[in-house]
C-alpha cells in the first residue's frame, strides 16, 4: 500500500486564534483545574533553593494561556509561600504561529479580566514567551524548577505519512500506524530528554496528556458516538460527492498520537533507557476521564435546551483545535473564500448530525496524568 507523504506539520497543529481556543475549550480547563493539586505537590517537593534567587516554571504548549491561567496562579501562590524572597519567572512556549497577542492580553488583564491575575497579585514575577515547540530544549541546562504541560504533547513533531482511509491514528492500521507509533516513541524520548536537560536537580514535571486508557477509551470515544470516526465520515462524504478531491480527503491527517499509560511510563522506568539515565524518575501515573461540559450542560438543562442549541454549543469546541487540519488539507489553488466555505460546510454537517440526534455525542477528555522528578 502506498502511503502519502505529509504536508507541513506546523500548519496543521495551530489552534483557532483571537481567544477562540480558551473560550471554546472549557473541558481542557476542567482537566487542568482538576490537577492543580499535582502542581502544588510539585512545589512542596522542591528542595530548598537557599543559594539561588530565582524560581523558573514553564507551560509547554500554552496556546493563548487561558486554560492554564488559574493553575499557574495557584502554582505561583504556592511558590510565594515556600520561597517568599525569590523571583519567579514563567515561560510560555508554543509554536511560532501561536496567538501570543491573546496570551499576553489574558495574562495582563487588558480586557478587564482581573480574575487570577498573578502579575497584579504577586510581586517579583516575570513572564517570557518562547515560540519554539516543546520537542526541543527551550531553556539553558539546569534552570527549570517546574515544567507543566496539559493537552499538548499528543502532537508529533512531524507527520511521518498521511493516513489512508481515516483522519486520525486511532483509525489507522498497518504501515501508517507503525510509522506514527515510531514517530511518537521517538518524540516522547526527545521531549523527556529535553526536559531532563532543563530541570534543576530535584525539579518536577507535571504533564496531563491525551491518551488511551485501560478500557480503550480516548478523546471523543468513551462509549457513545466516536468523534474521529464522525470527522472521517463527513470528510469522506464531501469527497464522494465531489466537493473535495481524493488528495484533499487523504491530506486531512491529524498530527497526533494517543499513547497508553504504559507507553508514557516505559522510558521512565527502564534503567537501560537514555531517559532514565538522564535522571528522570516516574513519581506517579494514572488515567482519568473528564466529562464533556457541553454535554453535561445539555443533560442538566433537560427540555429547556433544544437539540439544535446543544449542537450549536458543542461544535465550536471541536472546531477550536481541529479546524486547521481540514483547512490546510484543501488545495491552496482554491480561492480562499471557497476553502472557508468548505470548512464551514464540514462543521455545519457535523452540527446537523448532532441536532438531528444528539444521542452519544460528547467530547469527553481522556488523559494520562504524570508526575516526574529529576533525582538529585
pTM equals 0.90
Gyration radius (Cα) of the chain, Å: 21
Distance CA(15)–CA(64), nearest Å, equals 9
The full length of the chain comes to 376
| Cβ contact 314:354 at 8 Å | yes
C-alpha cell at 324: 486547521
Positions in the chain whose pLDDT score sits under 50: 1-8, 10-24
Task: Tell me the CA distances in angstroms from 275 to 144, 197, 285, one per residue in order.
Answer: 17, 10, 16
State the residue for C-alpha cell 466555505: 341
Query: According to the model, what pLDDT value does residue 114 have?
Result: 62
pLDDT for 16:
43
- Torsions phi, psi of 212, nearest 5? -110, 120
Contact 363, 220 (CB under 8 A): yes
Q: Where are the domains of the chain?
A: 10-220+253-292+363-374
Beta bridge partners of 366: 289
Tell me the C-alpha distance between 98 and 100, whole Å.
6
Helix (H), strand (E) at residue 259? strand 259-260
Question: Per the structure block, which three cell numbers stand in for 313?
Answer: 454549543
Whole-number pLDDT of residue 67: 87
CATH of domain 10-220+253-292+363-374: 3.40.50.150
Q: What is the pLDDT of residue 109?
A: 84
Give the pLDDT score at 283: 98
Q: Which one, of 19, 31, 61, 67, lies nearest residue 255 by Cα? A: 61
Secondary structure percentages of the chain, helix, strand, coil, to 5: 45, 20, 35
- CB within 8 Å of 14: residues ≥ 6 apart: 95, 97, 98, 324
Max CA distance (Å), the chain: 68
Write the burial class of residue 218 (CB in 10 Å: 0-12 exposed, 13-18 middle, 19+ buried). Answer: buried
Could you tell me which residues are beta bridge partners of residue 259? Answer: 211
Q: Burial, 48: exposed, middle or buried (Cβ in 10 Å; 0-12, 13-18, 19+)?
A: exposed
Alpha helices, H only, 14-99 = 20-24, 26-34, 36-45, 69-82
Residue 54's nearest CA partner among 20, 99, 12, 86 is 86
**Cβ(251)–Cβ(238) under 8 Å?**
no
Grid cell 509561600 in the structure block, residue: 81
| Dist. CA 7–CA 363, nearest whole Å | 27
Amino acid at each position: 500500500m502506498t502511503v502519502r507523504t505529509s504536508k507541513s506539520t506546523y500548519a496543521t497543529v495551530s489552534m483557532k486564534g483571537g481567544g477562540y481556543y480558551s473560550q471554546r475549550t472549557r473541558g481542557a480547563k476542567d482537566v487542568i483545574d482538576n490537577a492543580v493539586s499535582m502542581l502544588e505537590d510539585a512545589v512542596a517537593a522542591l528542595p530548598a533553593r537557599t543559594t539561588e534567587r530565582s524560581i523558573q516554571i514553564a507551560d509547554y504548549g500554552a496556546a493563548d494561556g487561558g486554560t492554564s491561567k488559574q493553575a499557574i496562579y495557584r502554582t505561583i501562590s504556592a511558590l510565594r509561600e515556600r520561597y517568599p524572597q525569590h523571583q519567579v519567572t514563567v515561560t510560555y512556549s508554543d509554536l511560532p504561529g501561536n496567538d501570543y497577542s491573546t496570551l499576553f492580553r489574558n495574562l495582563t488583564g487588558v480586557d478587564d479580566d482581573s480574575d487570577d491575575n498573578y502579575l497584579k497579585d504577586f510581586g517579583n514575577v516575570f513572564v517570557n514567551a518562547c515560540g519554539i515547540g516543546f520537542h526541543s530544549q527551550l531553556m539553558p541546562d539546569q534552570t527549570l524548577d517546574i515544567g507543566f504541560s496539559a493537552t499538548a504533547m499528543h502532537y508529533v513533531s512531524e507527520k511521518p505519512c498521511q493516513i489512508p482511509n481515516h483522519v486520525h491514528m486511532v483509525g489507522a492500521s498497518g504501515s501508517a500506524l507503525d510509522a506514527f507509533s515510531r514517530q511518537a516513541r521517538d518524540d516522547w524520548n526527545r521531549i523527556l530528554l529535553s526536559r531532563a536537560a532543563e530541570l534543576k536537580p530535584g525539579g518536577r514535571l507535571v504533564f496531563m496528556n491525551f491518551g488511551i486508557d485501560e478500557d480503550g477509551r480516548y478523546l471523543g470515544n468513551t462509549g457513545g458516538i466516536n468523534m474521529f470516526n464522525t470527522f472521517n465520515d463527513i470528510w469522506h462524504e464531501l469527497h464522494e460527492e465531489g466537493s473535495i478531491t481524493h488528495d484533499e480527503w487523504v491530506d486531512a491527517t491529524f498530527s497526533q498520537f494517543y499513547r497508553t499509560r504504559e507507553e508514557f511510563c516505559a522510558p521512565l522506568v527502564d534503567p537501560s533507557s537514555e531517559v532514565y539515565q538522564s535522571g528522570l524518575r516516574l513519581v506517579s501515573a494514572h488515567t482519568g476521564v473528564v466529562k464533556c461540559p457541553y454535554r453535561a450542560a445539555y443533560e442538566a438543562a433537560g427540555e429547556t435546551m433544544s437539540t439544535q442549541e446543544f449542537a450549536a454549543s458543542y461544535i465550536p469546541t471541536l472546531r477550536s483545535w481541529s479546524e486547521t487540519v481540514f483547512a490546510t488539507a484543501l488545495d491552496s489553488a482554491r480561492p480562499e473564500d471557497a476553502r472557508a466555505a468548505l470548512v464551514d460546510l464540514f462543521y455545519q454537517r457535523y452540527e446537523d448530525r448532532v441536532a438531528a440526534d444528539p444521542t452519544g455525542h460528547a467530547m469527553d477528555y481522556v488523559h494520562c496524568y504524570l508526575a516526574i522528578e529529576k533525582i538529585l
